[in-house]
Each structure stands twice: as C-alpha cells, then as structure tokens.
Chain A
C-alpha cells in the first residue's frame, strides 16, 4: 500500500528565511504528487502538482517542489517565506492505479515577524 511521510511536524521560521519541507513516499509505480496548503480557518488549496515532465515544478505564491524519483521524494521549497505563509502544508500522492489521494500527516509552518 502507498504511504506518504512528512518528517517535519512543526517548523518555525523568521520572515525572509528559506524553507524546505520534506516529503517522502512509498510506491513502486507511476505517481502523481501534490502539495496542498491549509491556511488558518480556510479550506485545503492546491499549491502545486507533479504529473510528468520537468521534475522541478513551480506553484503559486513562489513555492516550488522537486520530484526526485531515485529518492522517492517531493520536497517543497520557497526561497524567502512571509508571515502570510503561516499554515499547515500537506504532501499527497495519487497513484497510477487509483484515484484516491494519500496524504502525509502535515507540517505546521509558523513564520514569525
């Protein structure tokens, strides 16, 4: 069965610091990968997605992620975080044989001024 691991449960950064959130998955076949964000009091929103092609994908609000197949990873990055990036971030996997999303447990990002 597929699974997603997010090792950083709670990250605290100062504004302008660089961000990298880890995501590793377990599945041997073709994968589609997503990062979703949940701002306080708001619903899950798609940050970016990888289906195929260029393994470096760019999303909204300056976020990007790199798919490294050999490492089963899809880490999320942002060069300079803002206070408004404070939110919960979820990595999710959609496998080729199923259409259900498998989520990681999430990383709570707190950006301080």
Chain B
C-alpha cells in the first residue's frame, strides 16, 4: 500500500519564478492538505482540498494556489517566489476531512 508521495524531492528556484509541487495521496484517501515547514518550525497549514475544491485555507497570500484532480492527486503552485518561501512543503492525505492525516516526505524548496 503506497503512502503519500510527493515530487520533486528538491527544487531550486530564483526570486520571482513560479513553482509547481505535486502530491499523490495514500490509496483510498480523498482529502489532501498542504503545509509549509520552515527550518526549526512546526508545519503551517496552507490549504485543504476535498472533492476538487479548496475547502479551507490558512494565512497564506494568494500567490499560493492549488488544485485537486479527479484522481484526488493535488498540486501546489506558488507564484512570484520570495526568499521567505524557502521551506519544506508537506502534503498530507486523509480518508475524509477531519480524520487523521498521513504525511508525505515533502519537497524541499530553496529560493535564491
């Protein structure tokens, strides 16, 4: 049973560029949440997707957007990258919203 997978593992971008991160949920899960984990901090909630719609959003600017596909996989897009966007981006999936969440290995984004 495959767990949550994310791609790519690492990414280096420069300020102003745009980036897309991808996530495939655990088999049978239909809800995907995205988190940003800065160095030395706990993960911060970005948003959650369920039934292909953004269900809930954290305190992140509109530069952060996402999408969920019919197969429940999801993308996180960040536009106009800033140095402060450098972080580990985590994807988590759950059976339904409100259930325990299972995390992927994350994508390490470095913005130069």
Instruction: Report the minimal beta-carbon distance from A65 to chain B, rounded to whole angstroms.
Output: 14
Q: Is the CB of A100 within 8 A of B48?
A: yes
Instruction: Report the minimal beta-carbon distance from A42 to chain B, rounded to whole angstroms.
Output: 8
Q: Is the CB of B43 within 8 A of A101?
A: yes
- Tell me which of B17-25, B61-69, B78-86, B94-102 binds A: B94-102
- In the complex, A77 has a CB within 8 A of chain B: no
Tell which of A99, A102, A104 touches B97, judged by Cβ atoms closer than 8 Å: A99
- In the complex, B110 has a CB within 8 A of chain A: no
Q: For chain A, what secondary structure do more than half of its interface residues adopt (helix, strand, loop), or is it mixed?
A: strand
Instruction: Report the minimal beta-carbon distance from B59 to chain A, rounded to whole angstroms.
Output: 9
Report B-chain residues with C-beta under 8 Å of the C-beta of A16: none
Q: Is the CB of B41 within 8 A of A98?
A: no
Instruction: Report the minimal beta-carbon distance from A78 to chain B, rounded to whole angstroms.
Output: 20
- In the complex, B76 has a CB within 8 A of chain A: no
Tell which of A42, A44, A102, A104 touches B90, judged by Cβ atoms closer than 8 Å: A44
- In the complex, A71 has a CB within 8 A of chain B: no
Listed in ascending order, the chain B residues whose CB lies under 8 Å from chain A are 31, 33, 35, 40-45, 48, 55-56, 58, 90, 92, 94, 97-106
Known: A99-B33, A99-B94. 7 other contacts (CB 8 A): A4-B42, A36-B103, A43-B104, A99-B55, A100-B48, A103-B44, A105-B42
